[in-house]
Amino acid sequence: MRKVILISGILLFSSLLFAKSIFFWIEDVPWDDGKALTIKANVSADTVYLQKALDDGKWQTLYAANGTNFSYTDSGLNPDVKYQYRLLVPRPAFNDTIFFAAVAQPEEQWFYLHKLSYLLILLAVSIAIIYYVQNARKGKDYYIRRISGLDCIEDSIGRATEKGKPILFVPGIMDLDDIQTISSLTILSHLAHKAAEYDTEIIVPCRFSMVLSAAREVVKEAYIKAGKPDAYNQDRIFYLTDDQFGYVAGIDGIMVREQPAANFFLGSFYAESLILAETGFSTGAIQTAGTAQASQLPFFVVTCDYTLIGEELFAASAYLSRDPQQLGSLKGHDFGKLLVIILIVAGVITEMAGWQWFKAFFEGAQ
């Protein structure tokens, strides 16, 4: 009986000497933040127990499973610490248990390899955008096709001036951290500039304080650029409430009371979009809407005269402002779209041909 333990002990001792024992070894989980180790074993036994040495010397059993190509990933570790594991292999035939031990330290890599395709696409689109923006800044003029929704902006202001009624501009119900709100403010600056020239009042109810202050700055700039700093009335750009429905109810009240001739709903909208568009519809105002919120587009398409669909909102702010940065980045987006179309076509072809690796590369198999 003792002989058996002696032999297994020597066996074990020798396995520690080889770089990688064929029975029990530890691999660092590649390409991660060094917080995980994969413990593998290949022992012909029906149940083996994996134990981990705790700092107080005791052994904590982590996992028990069949011995043949046994594998367990221990996570939540610390990259600076060495961890000691041992594998208990009870052998009922010899009624003893031999154990294998191993020590390892998780390594921190500098890159998540499975995110390579993710990084490549992000880099491709970003470099395209930066390239086009730099060129646009150097004065290169890029062509953008006319977006039909924008013609309406010019006639809306003309109509509002004829009727002597104000323009209502709703910059969406989300905060400044929503990109649609920022594009909406870019269109607001162009619109306010036009409104200042035609001496038409512009009302901008805001839902968040940051949007409020940004909108005030933007409209003030527009009035100064139009040479009418004193016509700028800060009180027409005001805060209503943080709550989605308090905000909409407030705007409804304004529409019914002040009867604006032109309504603009540009930015991020949710369920309340129909209340706005329907009440605006009933006051007979000419309405332009624009949002990248797909769930609200049907309502705007149904009840507004013009609707900027999805990315047209971002394109409109670039088209209107002719601002080199926005023009350049729009060309970058178009590059991205061509890239997307090419990738989808290539992906479909490789899938049909049965080469799974192409799609797996883009899925970034975890």
Partner 1 sequence: MKYKVPLIFAFVCGILVVISEFIPHRPFNMLITTLQDWFMIISGFAILLGQISLFQSNIKKIKNKNPDWPFYLAGLISFAIMLVFGLLWGTQEYAGIFGQGDKIQAVVGMKPFDYLFNNAFMPLSATMFSLLAFFIASAAYRAFIIRSFESNLLMITAVIVMLGRTSFGGMLTSWLPEGLKFLHLPNLSDFIMEFPNSAAQRAILISAALGIIGSSLRIILGIERSYLGGEK
Partner 2 sequence: MSGFMATFGLWLSVFFTLSIFSFLYKDNPFYKLSEQIFVGLSAAYWLVYLYYSVMVPNLFNKLFTDFKGNLILLIPTALGLLMLLRLIPKTQWLSRYPIAIMIGTSAGINMVRYAKTDLLGQISATMINPFASDNVITVIGNILLIVGTICGVYFFYFSKKQEGIRAVPSKLGIWFLMISFGASFGYTVMARISLLIGRLEFLLKDWLHIIK
Partner 3 sequence: MSVNKNTQTERRIIYLVLLIAVALPLIFPIGWKTEVSNYTKMAWDLVENTPDSSVVVFSFDYDPSTITEIQPMAEAMLEHSFSRNQKIIAVALWPQGVQMADQAFKVALQKYPDKKYGIDYVNLGYKVAGIVAIQAMGKSMQEVFPSDQSGIKYEDIPMLKKVKTLKDVAYICSLSSGTPGIKEWVMAARDPLGTPVTGGTTAVSAPGLLPYVNSQKQLYGLLGGLKAASEYETLINKIGSATIKMDAQSIAHLLILAFILIGNIKAFVTKKRSEQ
Contacts of 131 (CB under 8 A, 6+ apart): 332
C-alpha pair distances (Å), 245 with each of 58, 96, 149, 176 = 59, 72, 27, 19
CB of 187 to partner 1, least distance (A): 11
Rule CB under 8 A: choose which of 17, 81, 110, 366 binds partner 1. Answer: 110
Smaller CB separation from partner 2, 72 or 239: 239
CB of 146 to partner 2, least distance (A): 8
Smaller CB separation from partner 2, 10 or 210: 210
Smaller CB separation from partner 3, 22 or 256: 256
Choose among partner 1, partner 3, partner 2, none what residue 348 binds, the Cβ cut-off being 5 to 8 Å by kind: partner 2
Question: Distance between CA 39 and CA 249 in Å, rounded?
Answer: 60
Question: Distance between CA 255 and CA 41 in Å, rounded?
Answer: 72
Q: What residues between 46 and 65 interact with partner 2 by CB under 8 A? A: none
CB of 272 to partner 1, least distance (A): 8
Q: Are residues 226 and 193 in contact, defined by beta-carbon separation less than 8 angstroms?
A: yes
Q: Phi then psi for 199, rounded to 5 degrees?
A: 55, 40
Binding segment (CB under 8 A) for partner 2, from list 60-68, 74-82, 83-91, 357-365: 357-365
Smaller CB separation from partner 2, 9 or 298: 298
Interacting residue ranges for partner 2, rule: CB under 8 A: 117-118, 121-122, 125, 142-145, 147, 176-177, 179, 209-210, 213, 240-243, 245-246, 249-250, 252-253, 256-257, 271, 274, 294-295, 297-299, 301-302, 309-312, 315, 330-331, 333-334, 336-338, 340-341, 343-345, 347-348, 350-352, 358-359, 362-364
